[in-house]
Structure 1
Amino acid sequence: MRGWWRELAGLVLPVACVGCGRPRVEWCDACGDELCGDPPRRVRPSPEPSGLPVVYATAPYESAVRAALLAHKERGGLGLAGALGAALASAVRAGAGSRGPDGARAPGGGTGPGPLLLVPVPSARRAVAARGHDPGRRIALAAARELRRTGTPARVVPVLRQGRAVADQSGLGARQRRANLSGALEVVAGGDRLLAGGRVVLVDDLMTTGASLAEAARAIGAQGVVAGGDADGQSGGPRKITGPGTRWAAVVSASPSAFGINPELLASARRYR
């Protein structure tokens, strides 16, 4: 009901762009360019947690992009799911088509048989209850629709859940986040069958330290999930995933430092622009 009221209110009340404040539009074209104007890139947090899959992101977590993700997650900006889902879809495509420096397909990518299976990193139940929706899953569903619209078979497979309570991640450092999440996620009963015959890609709205994605990959690998295709995403039939579980992930946004951007220099450049 909370979500319905928010959507109804958005139809009758004046709105402003969450990124720049431009009136009568929730998300303007200029802020859209900030979100999707550049091609997605592979991102790496520092330090990089053990078991982190290859991650692609669309835009640094700053300015209008940060405002949009916070508005969607915490302030009921449900109408932003379409734009954020399209951004996530572009990061998924980047991972699917990626090649290593030697020209070989990147692990987990490729154009092999079977649909793309988008596995959202789950939010805590109490957070979903407080927000009135699951932002990561909502964005994943929008991304799957965008991928199908552009000819890529894809569906959302929410097979991960929290097997134990975890502390609020806000305010925790990289090492503390890894300890907080260690062993916290698990695959639901029957999840291995749901993931059979497709190419698994972990998805989330944001990557900061990479702890959540690394734990999600561990949980899938610990289950011995069956996935279609070989290590290069080519044909070869179902196989047991070993090691980290899945080596491919996509997010809407990541910390500027994960893009190789120095946040202090960026802030300085903005002040004098």
Structure 2
Amino acid sequence: MVACYHGFQSVVALLSHCPFLDVNQQDKGGDTALMLAAQAGHVPLVSLLLNYYVGLDLERRDQRGLTALMKAAMRNRCECVATLLMAGADLTAVDPVRGKTALEWAVLTDSFDTVWRIRQLLRRPQVEQLSQHYKPEWPALSGLVAQAQAQAQVAPSLLERLQATLSLPFAPSPQEGGVLDHLVTATTSLASPFVTTACHTLCPDHPPSLGIRSKSVPELLVPAEAQSCRTPKSGPSSLAIPGAQDREEETGGGGQNGTEVGEDGIGQAGNR
């Protein structure tokens, strides 16, 4: 708990290998390690707890009945809120005292970044690019090209010229569903060469979704290791010397010092 509160990521990573550690243990106030990391805004620690600690309880409540999602929303920790939601935290859960959800607590405490982040996740609740069925084509490209061509044929009016001249050159924020949004989605998809050459997902048909509890890394590696052990290994043994079989075929083709295969399959030295 102390390591999660202060952000000691290396200590939390080492403690994940301890078999006798109870990750859901609560202190006197009812806070768990996940609650302390979430309300402190340590996003890497929250991801580490979610991905490498088996049996982590996302809906554990403190003495006031607040979950880790509610406590992060009250502190305006928008990235921690997004991480918890994509890991399967319940957005509809309410506290027993005032009966408010995490979104309502964010509105009540003026956590506007968290409110915007939750609403953005509700519009796009699934990471569709992390599925093998995702196609990197941009559906809105043809419509935007036709719209740009139509605007290019029409001469701008005097008012539009004045607005373009007097407008300050501020960089606009990336538009949702726009060019930058599609570029980020396409480059982070499984079809992207940057991702394909670097990693391989164990669950390509089940991308991360809002409100669906995803398995941790140890839970995913256990069936993968069992399947790799059951798969028969073809090809030469790892202890075999490369090129030894070729040399045997070259020397055993019929020379005076060659070998002849008997009926029992065991090579016999020639007597010539």
Which of the five TM-score ranges fits, normalised by the shorter chain? under 0.3
Provide the TM-score with structure 2 as the length reference: 0.27
Q: Which has the higher contact order (CA 8 A, sep 6+)?
A: 1
Structure showing greater Rg: 2
More strand by share: 1
